[in-house]
Amino acid sequence: MNPRVKNVLIIVGIIGAILIGALLIYGILVTPARQPYRDALAQYENVGKTNLLFTTVGANLNASGATDEEFEKAIETAEKTLTSLQTENEALSKKEVLQAGEGKELYDAFNDKLQEYITYNEDLLASMLKVRPVLFACNQDMDSITESAASIAAIRLCAAQLAALEDIPNSDYAALVTSLEEEYLSLATILEQDAALTDPQGADAARHEELQNDRDQALETLTTITSDFSKDLQQHRTVVITIDASQPLEEYLSSRSRLF
């Protein structure tokens, strides 16, 4: 090999060894300082994983097709997962790098948003557990609406059961209950008036047709109430689950966990 080439290779090798050595020394010196951030990041990821589990459990709540027992068990599972989320967050709050300075500031913003999220879901689950049995029974009764005394009595019973529900923490569910109660009472009154007509096909035909239109309008209003409820619930939930406060914290921990 040409002596000049050999010298170049030797120099390159020496430079490479120096660089590798420098990187190793850098890693040895820096890793201990980075480790607390890595630990905090790992715990932050545990919070995210638990929240993902809660989201999955919540998505599997079958409010329409499950039995009361199945639904109550599903709610209980969701509540336990939400408690685990709080536990994981408390563990995150104790990480040293989040106790002061920028880390604390970012965590406090994240925690404020997370507490709002947890409280919202606690209220939502409690409201679902309280309201669902009544709505489930009422929906079955509403499958066949007639002017019969039995049908009218069933509708008034639904209204009374809804009126008896108190302390519903979620505002959307509370508004739903109030609106349905009022509309059920209105529908029952319409059916009673129609049933009281003595000659619906003759002298009372015009009034009968008017009441039939009122009945159809009441049923349409009930559909609108439930549709508006779903939209409002989704809109309010979207506001609560925004991640504006979580991204800065994650970026902070990630950037300080890297060696380079």
CA distance 186 to 16: 86
Residue type at position 216: D
Task: Report how far apart, in Å, the C-alpha atoms of 220 and of each of 180, 225, 232 are.
Answer: 12, 9, 18
Report CA Rg, the chain: 32
**Amino acid identity, residue 128?**
M
Whole-number pLDDT of residue 26: 36
Of 86, 82, 197, 196, nearest to 128 by C-alpha is 82
For residues 127 and 168, is the Cβ–Cβ distance under 8 A?
yes
pLDDT tens digits, one per residue of 150-181: 999 999 999 999 999 999 999 999 999 999 99
Give dist(CA 144, CA 139) in Å, integer. 10
Q: What pLDDT, on a 0 to 100 scale, did the predictor assign at position 259?
A: 59
List CB contacts of 63: < 8 A, sequence separation 6 or more.
Answer: 71, 128, 132, 136
Residues 6+ apart with CB under 8 A from 34: 256, 257, 258, 259
Task: Determine the pLDDT at residue 27.
Answer: 42
User: Are 155 and 191 in contact, with CB atoms under 8 Å apart?
Assistant: yes
Nearest to 107 by CA among 34, 35, 31, 47: 47
Please identify every stretch of the chain with a pLDDT value under 70, giving residue numbers as ranges.
Answer: 1-32, 63-64, 143, 241-245, 258-260
Task: State the pLDDT at residue 3.
Answer: 59
Task: Check if the beta carbon of residue 89 is closer than 8 Å to that of residue 30.
Answer: no
Tell me, what's the pLDDT at 29?
41
pTM score of the predicted model: 0.81
Name the residue type at position 49: K
User: What is the rounded CA–CA span in Å between residue 67 and residue 92?
Assistant: 38
